[in-house]
Structure 1
Amino acid sequence: MHDDSGADFLRGGGEMGAYMRSHDWASSPVGIPEQWPQSLRTAVRILLNTGHPMYIFWGDSGICFYNDAYRLSIGTERHPSSLGRPAREVWEEIWPIIGPQIAQVMEGRGATWHENALVPITRNGIRENVYWTYSFGPIDDVDARNGIGGVLVICSETTPQIVAAERLAASAKRLQMALSAGRGIGTWDWDVQKDRVVADERFARLYGVDPVKAEAGAPIAEFFRAIHPADLPRVQERVGHALRSGGLFSEEYRLLQAGGTERWVLAEGSCSLDADGEPLLFSGVSFDITDRKEAEQRIRLLMREVNHRVKNQFSVILSMIRETTKRASSAKDFEAQIRRRITALSESHDLLVMGDWRGSEINELLAAQIRPFGARDQVQFSGPSVVLSASATQYLGIAFHELATNSAIHGALARSTGKVMVTWDVGSTSGCAPQLTLLWKETGYAVETKPVHKGFGTVVLERVTPQAVSGSGSLDYSDGLTWTLVAPLAAIGSTVHTV
């Protein structure tokens, strides 16, 4: 059943859809929905019918729209009262942050991109440090100033990930401090005037000094020899400062170990001075913090990987929206097409999640994309076991979806006699890197006419997917539909074994 108000594009959308339909738009600068520009209608339709957090600032005053997914990240202070209000009234407390970003987009100076950005807001009565990965992009409107009617915000709150990373780092530090009472701790006393460092066995072994010699006392230079050359000048400068000032010393640095390995240590101590200000005794402890440093490195790598994956997903979805917008005949047609394509993308995403984002095999990806059409007995595929990278999984998944959709409507899968054969192989010519060659071949029917216009599927098969894997793609309609993809194996994944 459709809305009889003439604002049919506002149907659905959960709680925020209901709020938008009942809102008094006549008293708003944007006017009644029936008179909204088509670009705003389309953007709002996308916003209401996605499970991803999205926000719209429309017009010079930045009238606010948002969806149910975004509502979960704001408190009662702004929901639902912010709907239809100017941006600055709603977001005054963070205007110094987002105001210039909105202005950049509205002035035609390009989109913005922010990863794990701190944007503190008040929600549910509490001022919170909230982290976001988000993009501000233009919504075109030929009648607006600069040809831009508003700003589309695609975002994800990353506060839980940031908090988890901080807790993990703090936990790693506490763990090292707890372990320091055992083999990870070494104590030392340096008689500065006699240049004799007396250290226990644990400290001596950590610094590569004979424990017997360290027990009797050895020059500081023998301990300094173990410090990594890149860290030594910094450590010497900090030690010199403590000797001159009689202050505290605390420094983290690397120690070279037998066999070429490295250990990280935290050295803490203090130097006492005589009445004339000359250094007397420099005492302290050293902690082995290697595990903590490795944990910090893993966290940094994890955060970079999370950022990369989120950004890649945004790029794929935005590409879908852009290409589908060019070819959809109506808002309803656009909605149906984009829903199917995002569902196909989610199938590929599920494979990646189940494989801990290490990738997926071609046969698994094919099966996942063909499954919704219920034609598995009409499709055969064979080739060596190739594990696709995460990026290749997403783009090949989109290609397989477009091929299967077309086949189910116009091709082999639309006929009981039709067959689809998908084959792939890896080979290389002399002096060239290995390449993957993949063929999707349909038989059992005759192509009546070659398509005159290039639709979204053709663009995906001939340009988007091949370019994403640094390869080439071609379509042939001479004897049923055949799609050929040739790409460097290094851009796709790796061969495991023949199946």
Structure 2
Amino acid sequence: MLQHLRVQAQGSDAADQTRQWTSSIWLAVVVGIAYFLAAQLSLSLLTPDGVAVFWPAAGIAAGTLIALGPRARLGVVVGTILATIAANLLGDRDLGSATVFAVCNGVEALLTASLIERYFGSEVSLNRLRNVLGLLGAAIVGAAASGIGGSLGFTLFYGATTSIFAIWQNWFLSDALGIVTTAPLVIGLASAAREPPPQSEAIEGLLALAAVAAMSLVVISLPAEPWKTVVPIALLFPLLLWIAARCRPIFASAAAFIVAVAIVWTTTFGIGHFGDPDLPVADRILAAQAGILMVALCAYVLAALFAERRQHEDALMESEARLQEALSAGAATAFVWDVRTGSSLRSANAAQILGYEPRQTLTAGNFLSRVHPDDRGRFKALVRGVRPESPTYTVTFRFKRCDGWEVWLEEVAKAEFDAMGRLVCLKGLTVDVTERKRSEEHQRLLVAELDHRVKNLLARVSVVITDTSPGSGSLDEYIQALDRRIQSMAAAHSLLSQNRWHGVDLMDLVRHQLAPYATDANTTIRGSNFTLTVAETQGLAMVLNELATNAAKYGALSTRNGRVEVVCNRGPSENATNLSIVWREIGGPAIAASPQCGYGVSLIRDLIPHELGGSVDLVFASEGVCCRIEFPVKAVTVTDIKGATSGHPAASATSLDAPLQ
């Protein structure tokens, strides 16, 4: 298995190496062809000592290395060396000098690209001024270094008669201009290939470049007199400014390259000022080089400055958008209130929070007029009370929106003062705290309601404790009775809590109170379901608990054959709001006609009339206890229960008037 994996890894490495070699070969071919053509063009215009006036081939090699990165070193260097040797051999140079020049050109490209990569990263674009200046510096270092070897090659192999410093100077100027004018174009083309410009920008840029090309030929070809060197180039400035302001730096690089080619072409063929035969060749070459450098630097600096401005604008817009999203998410609006003029400037989401139209102007006076009258005086007092030593304030107030809605706002602001200590403006945030205020009010009501309910519950417990004692035969009986009644109250409280104190279903309450004693055979619950209020739930729970307890101790639930039926329904009429509950015990032991009545019986008979305004008819019949409870309900919610035996569904519903089976 390991051997198989090792073979696969070796095969993969071999395939990668093959692809890398193939890419390097193709790159060497492409760079070599481009370098050779540019070199042939440059060799048509030489200085008196045989050095090319303008060497754009250096920019092709350096720009390709900068754009593609270290992986392109082999292909670019090989293509550069081979193209240099071929171009020089086709001229009047021998193999020795051609080889020296080729090595110098290859080292120049490597050195320039390495400096850029070291100080500016692997992916460099000319949309920042520091990158433009960095490219200029790298071009100067690379051209100066290669010029040393080139001047030595001219002296040793070419038999130059001029000084070595003059040769170096011409080589340096030629290669530096070539890198400065051509490398940005190559870098820009690579950047445009990765991220193409929009179609509208591309069309506008191409039209501008066509205008630059036409204008360059016209302006630079003008007669020498009375024009001077700088005047024709200055006439191109509006076009360069247009391109730099409207398009990406790639178009400015292309414009600079076009102007450079036009200057070299007119100088080579003796056209216009740069080709004036009356001027010395050295002067014409120096003027051409100065013109090329001036146009290139002007175009690159303008393009970088405008690109940085666009980047800053985009970053500012993005930051403002994020700020607006944050303000909207926090229901806040930022404002600046100029106290001297009374004008108020607010963030874009102010219309959403304050309720006015986006185009509507809301002055400080209009804002204050919409503050609630009860809060307006306090608001003004806080604003007037700011001082240089205490410049901030926080105020919460009610505000009537322009659409009529009233909201709660909280304003946090800081004042600014002039040198004389006079209030100039207020800056801060206005936050919509309506939901918080509603939550606080709801919480206050809940606390008040909880306090009320706890007091009622404690009062009930106190009454139970007091009234349970007289009917208890012993301390154990007292404790058991008290615990049972408190547990009944707790069960009702638990049901209310489960329903968030919105009420309890009557059937659930009956089942919970009968649960300790109920079986499938001894309990039947029928009728219609009702939703009880809190007071109805608490009162009826205590009554049902006493009935269930008495039935378990003395009544139907104390024997095996006994059973209890509970029927719930409305009052006599269909639209009645009275709730009727009939408790009937069947099959239990015989009951005395007048049993001894204790606290439980008193609670059954008195609690409903006293607390719910109803009536209770409790009868101790010989066949079993029968209790009819009736009281008015505040909100009737009815659901038919089609019979339930110990909580299980039955076959049919039975009305109160039907005979109990």
1:381 equivalent to 2:536? Answer no
**What is the Cα deviation at residue 182 of structure 1?**
4.4
Which residue of structure 2 aligns with residue 454 of structure 1?
A: 597
**What is the Cα deviation at residue 244 of structure 1?**
11
1:189 equivalent to 2:336? Answer yes
Higher helix proportion (structure 1 or 2) = 2
Which residue of structure 1 aligns with residue 42 of structure 2?
A: none
**What is the Cα deviation at residue 386 of structure 1?**
0.7
Q: 1:213 to 1:408 in 2, by over 3 A?
A: closer
Q: 1:224 to 1:488 in 2, by over 3 A?
A: same
1:437 equivalent to 2:584? Answer no
**What is the Cα deviation at residue 252 of structure 1?**
0.8
In 1, Cα distance between the equivalents of 2:347 and 2:401? 18
Which residue of structure 2 aligns with residue 87 of structure 1?
A: none
Which residue of structure 2 aligns with residue 71 of structure 1?
A: none
Paired residue secondary structure (2:582): strand
Which residue of structure 1 aligns with residue 501 of structure 2?
A: 357
In 2, Cα distance between the equivalents of 1:488 and 1:230? 43
In 2, Cα distance between the equivalents of 1:482 and 1:294? 50
AA at the equivalent of 1:231: D
Q: 1:213 to 1:440 in 2, by over 3 A?
A: closer
In 2, Cα distance between the equivalents of 1:327 and 1:262? 60
In 1, Cα distance between the equivalents of 2:363 and 2:460? 62
In 2, Cα distance between the equivalents of 1:428 and 1:273? 79
Which residue of structure 2 aligns with residue 131 of structure 1?
A: none
**What is the Cα deviation at residue 251 of structure 1?**
0.5
In 1, Cα distance between the equivalents of 2:354 and 2:328? 18
Alignment of structure 1 residues 286-297 onto 2, 5 Å: 286-297=430-441
Which residue of structure 1 aligns with residue 348 of structure 2?
A: 201
TM-score, normalisation: structure 2: 0.43
TM-score, normalisation: structure 1: 0.56
Tell me if the contact between 1:426 and 1:489 (Cα under 8 Å) persists in the aligned partners. no
Which residue of structure 1 aligns with residue 392 of structure 2?
A: 248
AA at the equivalent of 2:558: A
**What is the Cα deviation at residue 306 of structure 1?**
3.5
Paired residue secondary structure (2:491): helix
In 2, Cα distance between the equivalents of 1:199 and 1:245? 26
Q: 1:376 to 1:402 in 2, by over 3 A?
A: farther
Paired residue secondary structure (1:377): coil
Tell me if the contact between 1:228 and 1:254 (Cα under 8 Å) persists in the aligned partners. yes
Residue 468 (structure 1) aligned to one of 611, 625, 629: 611
AA at the equivalent of 2:617: S
1:284 equivalent to 2:445? Answer no
Paired residue secondary structure (1:481): strand
**What is the Cα deviation at residue 489 of structure 1?**
0.4
Q: 1:183 to 1:411 in 2, by over 3 A?
A: closer
Residue 367 (structure 1) aligned to one of 505, 508, 511: 511
In 1, Cα distance between the equivalents of 2:533 and 2:409? 37
Tell me if the contact between 1:425 and 1:437 (Cα under 8 Å) persists in the aligned partners. yes
In 2, Cα distance between the equivalents of 1:356 and 1:258? 37
Residue 468 (structure 2) aligned to one of 324, 342, 349: 324
Alignment of structure 1 residues 222-301 onto 2, 5 Å: 222-242=366-386, 247-257=391-401, 260-274=404-418, 278-301=422-445
Query: Structure 1: 5+ residue runs without aligned partners?
Result: 1-177
**What is the Cα deviation at residue 315 of structure 1?**
2.4
Q: CA deviation digits over 1:58-84, x for unaligned, max 9? A: xxxxxxxxxxxxxxxxxxxxxxxxxxx
1:495 equivalent to 2:637? Answer yes
Q: 1:206 to 1:226 in 2, by over 3 A?
A: farther
Tell me if the contact between 2:354 and 2:402 (Cα under 8 Å) persists in the aligned partners. no
Q: 1:488 to 1:286 in 2, by over 3 A?
A: same
Tell me if the contact between 1:382 and 1:422 (Cα under 8 Å) persists in the aligned partners. yes
Which residue of structure 2 aligns with residue 149 of structure 1?
A: none
Q: Name which of structure 1's ranges 304-313 and 187-196 shifts more when overlaid on structure 2.
A: 304-313
In 2, Cα distance between the equivalents of 1:246 and 1:280? 15
CA RMSD of aligned residues (A): 3.2
Higher strand proportion (structure 1 or 2) = 1
Q: CA deviation digits over 1:325-354, x for unaligned, max 9? A: 122122122112112222333333333343
Q: 1:250 to 1:448 in 2, by over 3 A?
A: closer
Q: 1:409 to 1:219 in 2, by over 3 A?
A: closer
AA at the equivalent of 2:577: P
Tell me if the contact between 1:208 and 1:226 (Cα under 8 Å) persists in the aligned partners. no
Highest CA radius of gyration, 1 or 2? 2
AA at the equivalent of 2:433: I
Tell me if the contact between 1:207 and 1:223 (Cα under 8 Å) persists in the aligned partners. no
Q: 1:241 to 1:296 in 2, by over 3 A?
A: same
Tell me if the contact between 2:391 and 2:414 (Cα under 8 Å) persists in the aligned partners. yes
Alignment of structure 1 residues 387-426 onto 2, 5 Å: 387-426=531-570
In 2, Cα distance between the equivalents of 1:245 and 1:472? 72
Which residue of structure 2 aligns with residue 128 of structure 1?
A: none
**What is the Cα deviation at residue 209 of structure 1?**
4.1
Which residue of structure 2 aligns with residue 96 of structure 1?
A: none
Percent of residue pairs identical? 26
Paired residue secondary structure (1:494): coil
Tell me if the contact between 2:330 and 2:431 (Cα under 8 Å) persists in the aligned partners. no
In 2, Cα distance between the equivalents of 1:278 and 1:379? 85
AA at the equivalent of 1:438: I
In 1, Cα distance between the equivalents of 2:375 and 2:457? 40
Q: 1:277 to 1:204 in 2, by over 3 A?
A: farther
Query: Structure 2: 5+ residue runs without aligned partners?
Result: 1-324, 642-661
Q: CA deviation digits over 1:246-269, x for unaligned, max 9? A: 742211112333654333221122
Q: CA deviation digits over 1:360-401, x for unaligned, max 9? A: 222222222222124442222222211222332232222112
AA at the equivalent of 1:449: A
In 2, Cα distance between the equivalents of 1:356 and 1:249? 40
